Amino acid sequence: MRVSTLFTKTLKNAPSDEVAKNAQLLIRAGFVYKEMAGAYVYLPLGLRVLENIKQIVREEMNAIDSNELIMTSLQRKEVWEKTTRWSDDVVDVWFKTRLKDDTEVGLGWSHEEPIVEMMKNYVHSYRDLPVSLYQFQTKMRNELRAKSGIMRGREFVMKDMYSFHATKDDLDAYYERSIEAYKRIYDRLGIGDDTYVTFASGGAFTKFSHEFQTICEAGEDIIYLHRAKNIAINEEVIDEAIVELGITKDELEQVKTAEVGNIFNFGTQKTDEMDLYYTDKDGVKQSLYLGSYGVGVTRVMGVIAEKLSDDKGLVWPEAIAPYKVYLVSIGNVAEQADELYETLQKAGITVLYDDRNERPGAKFADAELMGIPYRVTMSERLLSESKLEFTVRNSGETVLLTLDELLDKIA
Amino acid sequence: MRVSTLFTKTLKNAPSDEVAKNAQLLIRAGFVYKEMAGAYVYLPLGLRVLENIKQIVREEMNAIDSNELIMTSLQRKEVWEKTTRWSDDVVDVWFKTRLKDDTEVGLGWSHEEPIVEMMKNYVHSYRDLPVSLYQFQTKMRNELRAKSGIMRGREFVMKDMYSFHATKDDLDAYYERSIEAYKRIYDRLGIGDDTYVTFASGGAFTKFSHEFQTICEAGEDIIYLHRAKNIAINEEVIDEAIVELGITKDELEQVKTAEVGNIFNFGTQKTDEMDLYYTDKDGVKQSLYLGSYGVGVTRVMGVIAEKLSDDKGLVWPEAIAPYKVYLVSIGNVAEQADELYETLQKAGITVLYDDRNERPGAKFADAELMGIPYRVTMSERLLSESKLEFTVRNSGETVLLTLDELLDKIA
């Protein structure tokens, strides 16, 4: 992509009504546009990051034999009434509206109930189990406050997965597999070292659920952490958890975190409530085990924008950066820079090519604000030495390389 | 994908409440699930078709220099009030709801107004033009009746593109490019021969807009067609159009069609209404030209399901089929069939492998109902002759081939 054809422009200052650092940076760099509090447009650069994150999540969900589908945003009242969760007193984030015939409908803030209802069509016998399904869905939640940029949206993208099992053991085994898959996801997203599997409130079937909490000053959660023992506990369950784990609160460090994922063992509670059963080998009707597994896709993008950025702007990990290389041409080198642009792309490298007639400082500042992992600079002086300047965004390290050395390094 | 791991099962009969042929077939074959009238879940097989269609549309939009983004479903009242289109009397398909603070918001049934509003941030000067943007968006329309399966949804996927220009000539030229891009899309989707660029109602700036209408018995439109002269006119403008074109109604054939795309020249009407201007080379404020271009992505999937299907089931064109090959194993050939499954996949061919312990007739019927373009059958008898049976879904043609001949044919 040539910067000259990018319709977004970087901004010196963020809009005054935007208080969250992640959104300030993403707006300034041209990644998102704020439609209203908690609802953001993903501009071309932002959409590329979002799709890269989704693809990593997708690969890891496929790797644990889950099947992708896409459910509906429109929700039927009668489905949610089965678990009492239609009520605004029970769930306080519903957006509701009405069909022309005055039927009340909701907009999906979660899809547990509708997927259990749907599976009545597909799960009848033990032979139909286990089955795991996931989607990337735009969830709608009527949040009272939405001041955390893309970290808490009224409209946001979530990956939600649901698994159905004949036995508790089978669910437990899959639950463990999903924890491992989630760890791989956060590792690949570049925040694995600061993301902890965290004890959180459970339900009727399990004392605890598990959240994935990433250390982040802008997060809305507090966890208690034991780094050496790799133990993390959400403050909401701290008292029960320390008893259970046989530790004391003194051993733990209190840190601010953002929840980037959560997994929940429903046991047979929800399927029983909604009358989803299966028939076992002996023809006997049996309760069915359900697990539910979420990743806040847009939230994790916001957390990465918050955490990995510096005073110059965003810093994207290579795996999710919109482009791998920011190519800067300085002076009268258009022909050679055009050629390098082609060469890099042919080598499979995504390139944002700053071909504008701007001063070098402005181009460097944009490269930094946008957080592109590698900057490659070409100038007349460098060309005369058959060198390119190569700068790493997150370390600032700068070296001079030949084209071959550059390709060896990044292709 | 192994059929044994597919959680959907084919059904002999469609649900009694489903009246549209496209949805009946798609439900029976396990491609979609009906959440409510006009709102369908896309199951794994259906999602693959949908993504294949989107990818074709995406490639053609990128080829005419448009940039992908994704806007929000939540809509601000004040933005739509600028063109009077917030009013339910003007637009009768709004779904509306309220934020916690009682602010009224809408759900996007179109995105013309919000994109014009947004572009005030990015278009200031003639140097910022032209610019073209598109998205794949889940549109929400509160349709009074939704009985056409996925051909008319309350919640459906649309590709909408918007282009902004400094001059009428520049818009006109881009409008023509977009017509050519649309023709390529429908050709690649396998319905090009039956899809006509059709005169339809215009607006303040142009006498006519252009629809892409596909001949389809289940369609909701009537067009007047001159096949030899390649002229098509929506009945809503037949009287004006025949005068304009200097033809008589007698020359024309009346056919039922489904609208699969539409393009609209707004001139400067909408941008003027919404106060989006640019500054020309002389520093003078000028009106800005807007074009709007839609493809009904889920609708076109429904039209293809309606049009190309036969009494055995769906018939997908190869370019959008969920899998290219349906591999059937008969009898005691699991080891060899597993190997063939691997071989085909390594050759880059997508395969749905029916590894179930079912009778051949049931496997053949499922292959046909699902509409997979090529069926490859392996049995003990065929193996003894070193042959595979190769059947083409749309013609029914069956031949015996060696593995090399098969790969030559489809790889």
CATH number at residue A233: 3.30.930.10
Cα separation, B316 vs B29, whole angstroms: 12
Q: Which two tokens stand for residue A125?
A: 């016998």
Domain shared by B233 and B363, yes or no: no
- B317 cis-preceded (ω within 30 degrees of 0): no
Q: In what order do the strands lie in the sheet with B95-98?
A: B74-76, B104-107, B95-98
Domain shared by B134 and B166, yes or no: yes
- In this structure, is residue B383 part of a structural domain? yes
Q: Is B66 left (phi over 0), alpha (psi -120 to 50) or beta?
A: beta
- pLDDT tens by residue, A240-291: 999 999 999 999 999 999 999 999 999 999 999 999 999 999 999 999 999 9
Residue B155 has its nearest CB partner, among A73, A118, A128, at A73
Q: Over range B372-379, report the average pLDDT.
A: 98
Q: Over range B178-199, report the average pLDDT.
A: 98
A387 vs chain B: nearest CA distance in angstroms? 33
Q: Total structural domains in chain A?
A: 2
Amino acid type, B126:
Y
pTM above 0.90, yes or no: yes
The answer, yes or no, to whether residue A156 has pLDDT greater than 90, is: yes
Assembly ipTM: 0.97
Q: pLDDT tier at B205 (50, 70, 90 boundaries)? A: confident
- In this structure, is residue A314 part of a structural domain? no
Domain shared by A57 and A182, yes or no: yes
- In this structure, is residue A318 part of a structural domain? no
Q: What pLDDT was estimated at residue A205?
A: 83
- Chain A positions in Cβ-Cβ contact with residue B138 (cut-off 8 Å): 73, 138
Q: What pLDDT was estimated at residue B160?
A: 98
A74, B154: Cβ pair inside 8 Å?
Answer: yes
B105, A36: Cβ pair inside 8 Å?
Answer: yes
Q: What pLDDT was estimated at residue A298?
A: 98
Residue B72 has its nearest CB partner, among A39, A44, A118, at A39
B42, A131: Cβ pair inside 8 Å?
Answer: no
- In this structure, is residue B107 part of a structural domain? yes
B67, A44: Cβ pair inside 8 Å?
Answer: yes
Mutate to test the interface with A, among B2, B43, B103 (most CBs of A within 10 A): B43
Asked whether the beta carbons of A32 and A24 are under 8 A apart, the reply is no
Domain shared by B127 and B52, yes or no: yes
- pLDDT tens by residue, A348-373: 999 999 999 999 999 999 999 999 99
Q: What pLDDT was estimated at residue A231?
A: 96
Q: Which two tokens stand for residue B186?
A: 């429908």
- In this structure, is residue B319 part of a structural domain? no
- pLDDT tens by residue, A301-354: 999 999 999 999 999 999 999 999 999 999 999 999 999 999 999 999 999 999
Domain edge (last residue) among B274, B308, B342? B308
Domain shared by B131 and B12, yes or no: yes
- Chain A positions in Cβ-Cβ contact with residue B144 (cut-off 8 Å): 100
Closest CA to A372 of A398, A400, A393: A393
DSSP letter at A129 equals -
Domain edge (last residue) among B244, B274, B308? B308
Least confident of A64-68, B227-231, B289-293: B227-231
Domain shared by A238 and A357, yes or no: no
Nearest CA in chain A to B34: A118
- In this structure, is residue A177 part of a structural domain? yes
A35, B67: Cβ pair inside 8 Å?
Answer: no
Q: What pLDDT was estimated at residue A292?
A: 97
Per the structure, the complete domain to which residue B399 belongs is given by: 325-410
Where b means 16+ CB within 10 Å and e means fewer, A283-319 reads eeebbbbbbbbbbbbbbbbbbbbbbbbeeebbbbbee
A73, B140: Cβ pair inside 8 Å?
Answer: yes
Amino acid type, A34:
K
CATH of the domain at A399: 3.40.50.800
Q: pLDDT tier at A204 (50, 70, 90 boundaries)? A: confident
A140, B99: Cβ pair inside 8 Å?
Answer: no
Mutate to test the interface with A, among B4, B36, B45, B355 (most CBs of A within 10 A): B36
Domain shared by B123 and B254, yes or no: yes
Asked whether the beta carbons of B93 and B133 are under 8 A apart, the reply is no
- Chain A positions in Cβ-Cβ contact with residue B142 (cut-off 8 Å): 97, 99-100
Q: pLDDT tier at B204 (50, 70, 90 boundaries)? A: confident
- pLDDT tens by residue, B81-106: 999 999 999 999 999 999 999 999 99
- In this structure, is residue B315 part of a structural domain? no
Residue B43 has its nearest CB partner, among A5, A9, A69, at A69
Strand partners, A377: A328, A389
The answer, yes or no, to whether residue B145 has pLDDT greater than 90, is: no
Nearest CA in chain A to B137: A138
Q: What pLDDT was estimated at residue B306?
A: 97
Cα separation, A337 vs A332, whole angstroms: 9
Domain shared by A231 and A345, yes or no: no
Percent of chain A with pLDDT over 90: 97
A114, B43: Cβ pair inside 8 Å?
Answer: no
Domain edge (last residue) among B264, B282, B308? B308
Cα separation, B104 vs B27, whole angstroms: 36
Domain shared by B293 and B331, yes or no: no
B100, A142: Cβ pair inside 8 Å?
Answer: yes
The answer, yes or no, to whether residue A203 has pLDDT greater than 90, is: no
A37 vs chain B: nearest CA distance in angstroms? 10
Domain shared by A291 and A335, yes or no: no
Residues in CB range of B289: below 8 A, 6 or more apart? B164, B165, B166, B167, B168, B170, B171, B266, B267, B268, B271
Q: What pLDDT was estimated at residue B15?
A: 87
Least confident of B129-133, B204-208, B361-365, B391-395: B204-208
Count other C-beta atoms under 10 Å from residue A168's C-beta. 14
Domain shared by B105 and B199, yes or no: yes
Q: Which two tokens stand for residue A407?
A: 């390709």
- In this structure, is residue B89 part of a structural domain? yes
- Chain B positions in Cβ-Cβ contact with residue A97 (cut-off 8 Å): 95-97, 107, 142
A70, B41: Cβ pair inside 8 Å?
Answer: yes
Q: What pLDDT was estimated at residue A259?
A: 98
Residue A118 has its nearest CB partner, among B33, B131, B155, at B33
Q: pLDDT tier at A411 (50, 70, 90 boundaries)? A: confident
B97, A97: Cβ pair inside 8 Å?
Answer: yes
Q: What pLDDT was estimated at residue A15?
A: 87
Closest CA to A379 of A354, A397, A347: A354
Q: Which two tokens stand for residue B260?
A: 């699969």
Domain shared by B219 and B106, yes or no: yes
